[in-house]
Chains A and B, each alone.
Chain A
């Protein structure tokens, strides 16, 4: 067992699960989407990205790319949230909430791809 692989897989999957946790629920209902979940998903996603730094294999490059997409989507979601609440100072109405959640939905897809790639890599792994 390779500890590096365990930690790597742990963060990749945790990024996916947290993202899913935030995404699940009624699309435009603010009470279904907790801000702490978005925060956790973003932080774990960033850490997962850094874990993928410096891997020069082709699959490593793909993993890094999907991870960067997830980061971008989550950061966009957080920024929309922050802008609406603190800059525009308007309430979190259903239209805003649905755009935040759909952005995180995009990140969810990217994270899913990342995990699928991880599974593919371990299936093709031969010693």
Chain B
């Protein structure tokens, strides 16, 4: 990008030369034209007075004829000077205004302001590419948790939306193409405090370009990408993209999980829910034949995953050839009663409206419900802004790609251990999940639990680390109890301890000893976050938690009590 000052100066060359020439000629003329002083002697204006006269004349102030009244010749020259000066000034000011309003100039200005803001960021931050539904939610959630981010979005209007968004943290935005490597570098890709690049442009190819650019220019930076197809996901994976988020596959696998293990589904849902969302209810979808409308990316993923669970789906698709739908597919959109009847809606136990058109999906839902009121309904909501309509429709399960993407990325950023946790839970059965769900439901009231991590390191848990160095035992319950009353546990559940050697311990016992280098994944009420952070940072508090004795803090008091 160009230097703003040199850009302005180059455009101002001609007006400035004109201005200087006008002034020079006017001054020169005034010094050359003969005049008469107050005694009637011939007199010529000197340079000092000529410059003074032209200066106030050019700015149209006009103090009058000084130092002596002018002769006719001088007045004629002054008339010329007035017009020349006014025209030159108008031209110069007009050029400045044009330069300032020039879209190219404004773009350069905005770009440089953005670069300055990014350079001024001292704390870790993430680069978000694209500002759609998922990004908007993610930016809100991140700012709520004081994690900084910058947004790059091609569409200027969306960046303007970001500017007026009421966020807790200041989020700089730039309207440039993020697939351009210069833009990513301007957004701070090479800065040491850049934690990661999140590509959510809504276009697989752009996401791919962003991922490959980031991986090449900054190999250590974490790259998270949204991908809507297996092809591009495999491509992104091939060059080491850290995380690939496919909302359709995530939803389909969770939905399939609901059939055999609704409690496990709840665990997944709660762990990745957005801040302060109401606790979702336990639901078990009926087994039987389902009607699946739309065989696009979403439909294909749902059919694939439900087939593993042994759930039969009958397809309705308008364009059977382009989507490669199986032969027994009913052709039609599913919005009309006859297509649904043809697919035996009366026999079905549930309907999945999964086309990429929100109005059609709602129409399918209402028609299907009219034909068979007992249906379990699953509807795909493509646009976040239609929230009120979908809420009013009383749907059993709404699939919002934006929310799913935002939740998953948030999980990856806030609690990378969640991935390990989910991997370990795969071997557990439904009863285990049932116990966990009731334990979590017991500690949080009405809202979804907060998930966070704690590392037993000198930085994050200095008090605990200090004890461990002095070979004192610290039990898990020592850091998970109420600092006001140690017999009472805090409203949280330790989900996982990941040891230094890579072994994981699922749902550790409260009597378990904490070791240095442990990473602990907690889940629970938000207030327990602060209390645990207080205990692991404060030696006094930790000592009380371990022994039940409130040890005096100062040296004098310690000596007296001894």
For B11, B17, B27, B31, which residue has the most chain A Cβ atoms within 10 angstroms? B17
Contact partner of A50 (CB less than 8 A), chosen from B3, B13, B46, is: B13
* Chain A residues closer than 8 Å to B47, beta-carbon distance: 35, 39, 78, 82
The answer for the CA separation of A107 and B484 in the assembled complex, in Å, is 80
Q: Interface extent on A, as a size class?
A: 10 to 19
Question: Closest CB-CB distance, A33 to chain B, in whole Å?
Answer: 13
| Contact assessment for B16 and A56 in the assembled complex, using a CB-CB cutoff below 8 Å | no
> Could you tell me if B20 and A53 are in contact, using CB atoms closer than 8 angstroms?
no
Q: Mark B1-43, 1 if CB is under 8 A from A, else 0.
A: 0110011011111001100110010011001000000000000
> Would you call A103 an interface residue if the criterion is a C-beta within 8 Å of the partner chain's C-beta atoms?
no
User: CB distance A54 to B17 under 8 Å?
Assistant: no
A50 with B24: CB separation less than 8 A: no
Interface SS of chain A: helix, strand, loop or mixed? helix
Considering the complex, which residues of chain B in the window 311-346 have a beta carbon less than 8 Å from any beta carbon of chain A?
none
Nearest chain B residue, comparing its CB with the CB of A42 = B24
* B530 at interface by CB-CB < 8 Å: no
Complex Cα distance, B396 from A100, in Å, reads: 91
C-beta contact mask, A66-109 vs B, less than 8 Å → 1, else 0? 00000000000010001001100000000000000000000000
- Find out whether the CB atom of B10 lies under 8 angstroms from the CB atom of A50: no
Min CB gap A77→B, angstroms:
12
Q: A46-B20, A50-B17, A50-B20 are in contact. Are A39 and B28 (CB under 8 A)?
A: yes
Task: Report the Cα distance A50→B20, complex, angstroms.
Answer: 10
CA distance A78 to B17 in the complex (A): 20
Q: In angstroms, how far is the closest chain B Cβ from the Cβ of A123? A: 25
- Bitwise interface map of A from 23 to 65 toward B, beta carbon under 8 Å scored 1, else 0: 0000000000001100100010011001101111000000000
Report chain A residues within 8 Å CB of B2.
Answer: 56
CB of B48 within 8 Å of the partner chain: yes
B17–A51 CB distance below 8 A: yes
- Known contacts A50-B16, A51-B17: does B27 contact A39 (CB below 8 Å)? yes
Residue with the highest number of chain A CB atoms closer than 10 Å, among B2, B20, B31: B20
Q: How far is the CB of A79 from chain B (nearest CB, A)?
A: 10
Known contacts A82-B48, A85-B48, A86-B48, A47 near B10 by CB under 8 Å: no
Q: Say yes or no: A47-B20 contact (C-beta < 8 A), given A39-B28, A54-B13, A56-B6.
A: yes
* Chain A residues whose CB sits within 8 angstroms of the CB of B31 once the complex forms: 36, 39
Name the residue on B nearest A61 (C-beta): B6
The complex places the Cα of A86 from the Cα of B45 at a distance, in Å, of: 12
Q: Which residues of B contact A39 (CB under 8 A)?
A: 24, 27-28, 31, 47
- Besides the known contacts A39-B27, A51-B17, A86-B48, 8 further A-B residue pairs in the complex with CB atoms under 8 A apart: A35-B47, A36-B31, A39-B24, A54-B6, A54-B9, A54-B10, A82-B47, A86-B49
What are 5 A-B interface contacts by the 8 Å CB criterion?
A39-B28, A53-B13, A54-B6, A54-B11, A78-B47
Binding site for B on A (CB under 8 A): 35-36, 39, 43, 46-47, 50-51, 53-56, 78, 82, 85-86
